[in-house]
Structure 1
Amino acid sequence: MPVRNMHSWNIMIASYIQNSLYSNALAIFSEFKSCNLVPDHYTLPQLFKACVGVGDACFGKVCHGWVIKLGYEGDFVAWNLMISGFLRAGLYLRVINCFREMLLTNGGKMDSMSVPSILIACGREGDLMKGKEVHGYVLKNCEFDVDTPIGNTLIDMYGKCGCLNDSEKVFKTMRSVNVVTWTTMVSCYGMHGNGEEALLLFQKMVNGGITPNSVTLTAVLASCSHSGLIDQGKKIFNSISSGYGLQPSAEHYACMVDLFGRAGYLVEALELLRSMKSLGTGSVWGALLAGCVMHKNVEIAEIAAHHLFQLEPNNASNYIALCGIYQSHGMLDGIATVRERMREQGLIKTPGCSWISIGGRAHKFYQGDLSHPLSHLIERITHQISNTQLLDDDFGSVTHDDTCMMAL
C-alpha cells in the first residue's frame, strides 16, 4: 500500500493477534513506531493481547505507560481488556456482568470494540434479553450500525438464542458484508436444521464472487450433517481441494464422519477416516463413536474408542459411550472391563446439566438434584407440563397456552 493510515496498521496488528501470531504483531508494531505514529485506543488492547501471548511482561508495562500518558486510563481500554479476557476464558456470565459494570461506570455508554464480545457472550449464555438490549443500543448509534463485525455477531447471537428469523433480518439489512457474514448465516441455518437453506445461501455466496474459506466449508458440511444431506455433503467435501484449492482439515473430516454416522453408514465413515493423511483427532474419532452409539454398532465403536483412549485418555465421556453400547447388547464383561479401566485412571463422569440465566444469575439443574430452593415448585410444574403433553397427544394442543402461563 502506498499510503497506510492508523486504520491500516490497526487492522494488520489485530489480524495477527486473531491468528495467534503474537510475535508478528509485535514486529509490525516496531514498523508502526518507525513511522512516528502513536498508538491509539484501538492499537493498545491488541498490544496487551500480544504481550500475554509471548509472555512479555516488560513490554506490557510499557503499553500500560502509554495508556496513562495518552489519557486512556479513564477510557474503555481497561474494560475491553477485561471483557476480552473473560470471553477467551469461556466465562460468559462474567463478560455480561463486566459489561453491566462498564455501563454503570461510564454513564450508560459502551465502546464499539466491546460490543462483539458482549454479543458473543449473550449467544453462549442464551441471554436473549441482554442481546436485544445491546442490539437496541447499536440501532440508536449510527457509528455502530454500520460496523460489519457487530452485524456478524448479531447474526450469531440470535441464531444461538433460537431466533433464526432475527438472524435473517440482520443479515438482509446489513449494508456491508464479508465472508464471515455469509459463513455465520450459513451456520445459523445449519444449527436450526435448515440444511437446504444453508446450501442455497452458500451457492448464492459463491455465485456472488465471494470465495469461501475453510470455516465456511465447515459450516456448510455441518449443515448437511444436521439435515442428513449425504449426496450434497459428498459434493461439497470433494470440492474442497478440486474446487477451492484447499486441503480438507480435521473439522471437514469430522463433519463428513458425523454425516455418515448419523445416516448409519458407519463402514463408509471408517473408510473415510482411514483415508486421512494423519491419524485423526479426537473430534473425528468422537464423531464416529457418536454414530456407533446412535446405531449400536459394537465392532466399529471399539475401534473408535481405542483411538480415543489414546488421544484423550482422561475424557470420561468416551468410556461412558462405549459402556452404553455394551449395555444395549447386554455385554456385561465389556462394561466391567471399561469401568475397571476408568477406576484405574481415576475417571469420574461429569453429570450433564441444564441452566437458565435470570437476572444475571445462572440457575443449574442436574438430574435428581433437589438442592435448588424452588425445586419442589419446579418439579410440580414440570409434572403438570408432562401431563399436559400427554393430553395434547390425545386431544390436540389447546392446553399449551394455559400450561405456559402456569409455568411463568
Structure 2
Amino acid sequence: MPSKVPTCLPPNISLKFIKSYVNSGDLGCALQLFNKIPVPDLRSWTILITTHTKQGFPKEALKLYAELRLRKVEPDKLVLLAAVKACAASAHLANAMQIHEDAIRFGFSSDLLLGNALIDMYGKCNFFQGARKVFDEMPTKDVISWTSISACYVNCGLPGEALQVVRAMGSTGMKPNSVTVSSILPAISDLKYLNLGREIHGFVLRNGMSQNVFVTSGLVDMYANCFSLHQAQLVFDNMSKRDIVSWNVIITAHFSNGGCEKAVNLFHRMRSEGVNLNSASWNAVISGCIQHGKTEQALYLLAQMQDSGFKPNHVTIASLLPACTNLESLRGGKQIHAYSFRHRFIEDIMIATAMILMYAKCGDLELSQRVFSELPRRDTVAWNTIIMANSMHGNGKEALLLFQKMIDSGIKPNSVTFTGVLSGCSHSQLVQEAHSIFYSMSGNYLIEPDADHYSCMVDVLSRSGYLEEAYEFIQKMPIEPTASAWGALLGACRVYKNVELGQVAANKLFEIEPENPGNYILLSNIFVSAKMWLDASKIRKLMRDRGVTKAPGCSWVQVKNRVHTFVVGDKRNEQSNEIYRFLDELREKMRLAGYLPDTGFVLQDVDQEEKEELLCNHSERLAVAFGILNLNGESLVRVFKNLRICGDCHNAIKFMSKIIGVQITVRDNLRFHHFRDGLCSCRDFW
C-alpha cells in the first residue's frame, strides 16, 4: 500500500484526509486510512459507502455497511441513505430488506427523504410489495414519493398499476413534474394507450415541459410504440435539443415500424450532424438492418463501428448471431464465437443459447452440443434450443433423452419444449414415444396442447405411414385443424402414394391457404406418380388460373467467404463445365456401385434418357459437386436448399459420399441430412 498514507491522526483530521483522497479519486488510500482509525465516525462511513457506490462498487459499499453493523455502530440517516443507494445500484433484495428493517429500528421510518429512497431501492430490486409498504406507511408524501412508486410499478412490469398511482396522485391535488411524466410514458407505451398519451402530450405543452429532453424522448418512444410514427417524427423534429437517447429512440422506432431505409438515413444524418454516437446507436442500426434482411449492410456498419473505436458488446453479438444463422455462415459464426470467448460474452446465457441455435442451423450439431454442455446455467430457453437442434438433425432419441434430463434438473417444460420433442419423434419414427409425450402434456404438466402440438402428432403418424390414423386424428381434434396439420398429411401422401387422402388434404389446404404453391405442386406430384397425367395437368391449370406461381428450387454452398447459388440446369457458375464433367464421370462410377436413377421424380412426360439427364441437373446435385470440387483439404461439404430434397438426389448423394469419401450435409426445408459412407442420418425417412 502507498507509504504516503498518514497514521495516528485525530478523527477530524482523518476525515479531512479521507475526503481529500476521495476527491482525488484515490479510493484505495482512503480505505487504507479508514482501516487504521480505531473508531471511525459516521461521516467517514457515509463517505466511503457513497464513494464505493458512485465508482461502481455497490457490493463493496454494502460490505462496509455490514461491517458497521457488526461493530454494533448505530447508523444515522445519512449512513442509511448511502446504504439504500448501494442496494438500489446492486439490486440486492435481501440486503434491501435488512436496511429497511434498520431504518425502522433506529427511528427513521417517518423520514420523507429516506422513505423516497427506500421506494426507489425496492423498485430497482423489482419488489413492488416492499415499495408499496413503505409508501403506504409514509405519514407525508411529496411528488418524489408518488413518482418513485409509479416508476417502481413500471420497472416491475405493472404499467396498469403505475397509471393508477398517477391518477391517485392527481386526485390529491399534487401536480406531476417532468420526472413523473418521463417515468409514466413507458407504461403508456406498454399498454398502447395512444389517447392517454396524447393527453399527457397536451399536459407537457401546457406546463412548459416540451424543452425537457427526457420528456420529449419519452413522447417519441410512446408514439412509436402506439403505432403513430408520424406523430413520433413530428415530436422529434420539433425538439429544440436532441440528445443521443432521442436519436436512438427515433431510429429504433422507424426500424420497428418497417422503415428500414428511413432509419438508416437518420443514422447517417446523426453522424453528419456531429452527434457523439454510443454503442446503443451502433447496435440499434446493426440489429435493425439484420431484422430487415439487410445483412450485408449490417456487416458493413459493424466494420464502421469498429473503425470508429467502438468494440462490439454483448448486445452487438446477440444481434449478429441471428445474421450468421440466417446466412448459414458457419465461418462467421465461429469468428463471433471466438470473439465472445475472448471477451467472456459466452457467459451470457442469451448469447450462448443463440450460439447453440446458430451452430445447429449451420449444420454443425456437434459444436452446438458442445456449447450447451459448457453452459454453467441452463434455463428453459437453452434446453428448448438444444432439444430443437437435435430434432432438426433427426436425432429424435437424443431429443427425448434431453427432455428427460431437463425434467430431472428441475426445469419446467413449456409449450415450445413439447413442440421440439414431438418434432424429434416425427423425424425418427418414434410413434409410441410421441403418443406418451403428447398425452402427458395436460395430465402431468398442465399444458394444453395447441395447434402446433396437434400438427406435430399428425406429422408423427403421417411420416410413419399411419395415414388413416393421422386422418382420423385430424377429424377428432378439439380445435380447428391448421394448414400445418393438413400439410403434414399431404406430404406423407406424396411419399406413400395415397391418392385418395392426398386429394382430401389438398382440397382442405386450397381453402385454408389458396396462395401456397406447395400444396398444388404436392398434389400434382401425387397424380404424376400415379400416372394420372390429366389430373396433374388440371392442378397445374388451376394454379395458373388462380395466379399462383411456384418458387424456383435453389441450392447454395459457401466456399470460403462467398455463397454460390444454383438452380436446376444452372450454367452461370464459372466452373460449370467442370461441374457437369465431374457429374458425368461420377454417374458412371455410381452405376457400377449400384445406383439406378429414380425417374419417378421427373414430373415431365418425357423419354427415359431425358428424364435421367434432368435428374443430373437438379440444384442440390450441382451444389454438392461444386462443394466437392472446392474442398481445399476439408472433408465436409455443407449444402442448403429452399425446398424438399429430391428423392433421387437423396439417393445419388449417398453414393457420392461413399465414392468420394467425404461427408456431405444437406439441409432442405424440413431437416438436415448427413451423408457418410453411402448412408444418410435420416435412414431414408424424411
Cα 1:326–1:164, aligned 2, differ >3 Å: closer, same or farther? same
From 212, 237, 241, the counterpart of 2:413:
212
Q: Distance in 2 between matches of 1:378 and 1:57?
A: 54
**Deviates most, 185-194 or 368-377:** 368-377
Matches within 5 A, 1:33-72: 51=224, 54-59=227-232, 65-67=242-244
* Rg comparison, structure with higher value: 2
Equivalent position amino acid for 2:291 in 1: R
**Unmatched tracts of structure 1, length 5 or more:** 14-20, 31-37, 404-408
Identify the residue that residue 165 of structure 1 maps to in structure 2: 366
Identify the residue that residue 123 of structure 2 maps to in structure 1: 4
Q: Distance in 1 between matches of 2:294 and 2:507?
A: 34
- Tell me if structure 2 keeps the 8 A contact 1:95–1:121: no
| 1:277-321 Cα distance to aligned partner (Å, 9 max, x none) | 333222221111111111111111111111111111111111110
- Tell me if structure 2 keeps the 8 A contact 1:96–1:122: no
1:111 aligns with 2:111: no
2:448 is paired with a residue whose SS is coil
Shift of 1:379: 2.7
2:566 is paired with a residue whose SS is strand
Equivalent position amino acid for 2:287 in 1: S
1:79 aligns with 2:282: yes
Q: Distance in 2 between matches of 1:362 and 1:356?
A: 6
- Tell me if structure 1 keeps the 8 A contact 2:461–2:470: yes
Identify the residue that residue 353 of structure 1 maps to in structure 2: 554
Matches within 5 A, 1:236-275: 236-275=437-476
| 1:161-194 Cα distance to aligned partner (Å, 9 max, x none) | 2211211211111122210000011111111221
Q: Distance in 1 between matches of 2:385 and 2:442?
A: 22
**Deviates most, 111-120 or 196-205:** 111-120
| 1:244-301 Cα distance to aligned partner (Å, 9 max, x none) | 2222112111211111111111111112212223332222211111111111111111
Identify the residue that residue 400 of structure 1 maps to in structure 2: 661
**Deviates most, 63-72 or 369-378:** 63-72
Q: Distance in 1 between matches of 2:583 and 2:223?
A: 49
- Tell me if structure 1 keeps the 8 A contact 2:399–2:424: yes
Q: Distance in 2 between matches of 1:338 and 1:268?
A: 27
- Tell me if structure 1 keeps the 8 A contact 2:236–2:246: no
Cα 1:170–1:102, aligned 2, differ >3 Å: closer, same or farther? farther
Q: Distance in 1 between matches of 2:308 and 2:222?
A: 23
Q: Distance in 2 between matches of 1:74 and 1:67?
A: 7
Cα 1:60–1:110, aligned 2, differ >3 Å: closer, same or farther? farther
Matches within 5 A, 1:1-400: 3-5=122-124, 23-24=189-190, 51=224, 54-59=227-232, 65-67=242-244, 74-89=277-292, 91=293, 93-94=295-296, 97-98=299-300, 100-107=302-309, 109-142=311-344, 144-358=345-559, 361-384=562-585, 386=587, 397=658, 400=661
- Tell me if structure 2 keeps the 8 A contact 1:260–1:268: yes
Equivalent position amino acid for 2:285 in 1: M
Cα 1:305–1:393, aligned 2, differ >3 Å: closer, same or farther? closer
Shift of 1:200: 0.9
2:480 is paired with a residue whose SS is coil
Cα 1:148–1:276, aligned 2, differ >3 Å: closer, same or farther? same
Identify the residue that residue 18 of structure 1 maps to in structure 2: none
Shift of 1:223: 0.6
Cα 1:245–1:194, aligned 2, differ >3 Å: closer, same or farther? same
Cα 1:116–1:291, aligned 2, differ >3 Å: closer, same or farther? same
Equivalent position amino acid for 1:256 in 2: M
**Deviates most, 293-302 or 269-278:** 269-278
Q: Distance in 2 between matches of 1:174 and 1:61?
A: 47
Shift of 1:393: 6.6
Q: Distance in 2 between matches of 1:300 and 1:257?
A: 13
Cα 1:214–1:160, aligned 2, differ >3 Å: closer, same or farther? same
1:370 is paired with a residue whose SS is coil
Q: Distance in 2 between matches of 1:390 and 1:295?
A: 26
- Tell me if structure 1 keeps the 8 A contact 2:321–2:358: yes
- Tell me if structure 2 keeps the 8 A contact 1:254–1:283: yes
- Tell me if structure 2 keeps the 8 A contact 1:99–1:118: no
- Tell me if structure 2 keeps the 8 A contact 1:48–1:63: no
Q: Distance in 2 between matches of 1:300 and 1:131?
A: 43
Q: Distance in 2 between matches of 1:248 and 1:347?
A: 33
Q: Distance in 1 between matches of 2:431 and 2:236?
A: 52
2:315 is paired with a residue whose SS is coil
Q: Distance in 1 between matches of 2:579 and 2:573?
A: 9
2:411 is paired with a residue whose SS is coil
Equivalent position amino acid for 1:83 in 2: I
Q: Distance in 2 between matches of 1:384 and 1:256?
A: 44
Q: Distance in 2 between matches of 1:295 and 1:126?
A: 32
TM-score normalized with structure 1 length: 0.81
| 1:363-408 Cα distance to aligned partner (Å, 9 max, x none) | 210011212333223333444555565677799958536x9xxxxx
- Tell me if structure 2 keeps the 8 A contact 1:353–1:366: yes
Cα 1:270–1:374, aligned 2, differ >3 Å: closer, same or farther? same
Equivalent position amino acid for 2:504 in 1: I
| 1:71-112 Cα distance to aligned partner (Å, 9 max, x none) | 9851233333333334434x2743763464355444472121
Equivalent position amino acid for 2:543 in 1: M
**Deviates most, 277-286 or 77-86:** 77-86
Q: Distance in 2 between matches of 1:25 and 1:360?
A: 45
- Tell me if structure 2 keeps the 8 A contact 1:95–1:118: no
Shift of 1:4: 2.9
- Tell me if structure 1 keeps the 8 A contact 2:189–2:222: no
Cα 1:86–1:190, aligned 2, differ >3 Å: closer, same or farther? same
Q: Distance in 2 between matches of 1:340 and 1:277?
A: 35
Cα 1:283–1:92, aligned 2, differ >3 Å: closer, same or farther? farther
Cα 1:324–1:399, aligned 2, differ >3 Å: closer, same or farther? closer
Cα 1:104–1:385, aligned 2, differ >3 Å: closer, same or farther? farther
- Tell me if structure 1 keeps the 8 A contact 2:189–2:225: no
Equivalent position amino acid for 1:56 in 2: L
- Tell me if structure 1 keeps the 8 A contact 2:290–2:298: no
- Tell me if structure 1 keeps the 8 A contact 2:467–2:492: yes
